[in-house]
Structure 1
């Protein structure tokens, strides 16, 4: 894949992009920026983006991704509440690291959701990419849960999700969305660095 091919693909994506996809992309990027800064606006901007992507994924037969965006919506409501209702004596919900039990729960969520999603997609839908679709959805389940809990490791889950989503959406012809996930990978890496520093500050 040469550089010119990427430029051509991006140009084609812009030409084929609907206004709805453009709005979803803009609000999605805004949500990641706010998340990096631990700003509560991560949730309202994310809600707008995810609701739009529910519709887009339905049109492109990405049923698991449609489900994950519906999950994003519900978890955004949950995260919005958790972030604005810290424990007694705390002004804000602090950024913390997962304990061993948290890692076990996260891995369990991923494995169970991946297996269930793959079986459903392969047996009961016309999904043509059940492996990819299930993987990105399962890893995103974990990422959204950990973000609502303000765990540093949420960014690791997002980096994995974004890296796999790039070729998935490119293959589906959603070129601009594919580039969005490439950009998200960079932002998630920066977010991981920022939250590591934040966790250290809360600990000190």
Structure 2
């Protein structure tokens, strides 16, 4: 059996529950990508893409004949969205990195207008996608699946732009995502979502500290320039 076949078929049995190793590995890649994002490293993007590919096959359980035959279309669809937006973020951060000796992006606030648009987009996207996902046979409650998809899109875009608020969008995604994944039987992902939720809060405060240090350094430079 080659490594790809092993990865696709390998399972972990815990009591009566069967968990796919690619669900565990895919989520582990997602957490590693978040660590890279917090440290503002370009490698966060390709690592995240690798996890997205694995999780896409996991959340289409009925399609790929996994032990958990439940389709979460929002969860599966967002993996494709992640890949597309991650390529954008990869390019954005790589371009910034070439012009700077520091990290790949400088954290900054999105601004009032962008925050309003993010909030509106999260609610509007959920309302629009809910009937679409329901018609396609997604797991109930479908609005939660739509919320997760929309929030993930906005959070990933915000990360690419360097907006510190993107961490808080992830928190909103995780609050809804954990109970949905538990009810759908994706226990490994639910447990990792709990961990990820705590991590996203830590990432938010880390980026805020980076912003404060940057402001202090700028103020010192301005004072020095006037002397």
Fold-level similarity (TM above 0.5): yes
Asked if the contact 2:40–2:105 (Cα under 8 Å) also holds between the matched residues in 1, the reply is no
Q: What residue ranges of structure 2 are gaps of 5+ in the alignment?
A: 1-12, 62-69, 217-227
CA RMSD of aligned residues (A): 2.1
Q: Which residue of 2 aligns with 1:4?
A: none
Asked if the contact 2:72–2:138 (Cα under 8 Å) also holds between the matched residues in 1, the reply is no
Give the length in aligned residue pairs. 194
Q: Flag the 1:88–1:61 CA change in 2: closer, same or farther, 3 A.
A: closer
Alignment match of 2:175 (pick from 163, 169, 187)? 163
Secondary structure (helix, strand or coil) at the match of 1:17 reads strand
Paired with 1:149 and 1:13, the residues of 2 have a C-alpha distance of: 44
The alignment's TM-score, normalised by the length of structure 2, stands at: 0.78
The structure with the larger Rg is 2
Q: Which residue of 2 aligns with 1:3?
A: none
Would you say 1:22 and 2:34 are equivalent positions?
no
Alignment match of 2:79 (pick from 69, 82, 97)? 69
Would you say 1:147 and 2:149 are equivalent positions?
no
Q: Which residue of 2 aligns with 1:81?
A: 91
Give the ranges of 4+ consecutive aligned residues of structure 1 lying more than 3 Å apart after TM superposition.
Answer: 11-15, 87-92
Paired with 1:14 and 1:29, the residues of 2 have a C-alpha distance of: 26
Q: How do residues 21-170 of structure 1 correspond to structure 2 at under 5 angstroms? A: 21-59=23-61, 60-86=70-96, 90-91=100-101, 92-170=104-182
Asked if the contact 1:13–1:175 (Cα under 8 Å) also holds between the matched residues in 2, the reply is no
Asked if the contact 1:47–1:73 (Cα under 8 Å) also holds between the matched residues in 2, the reply is yes
The alignment's TM-score, normalised by the length of structure 1, stands at: 0.87
Q: How far apart are 1:55 and its partner, in Å?
A: 1.2
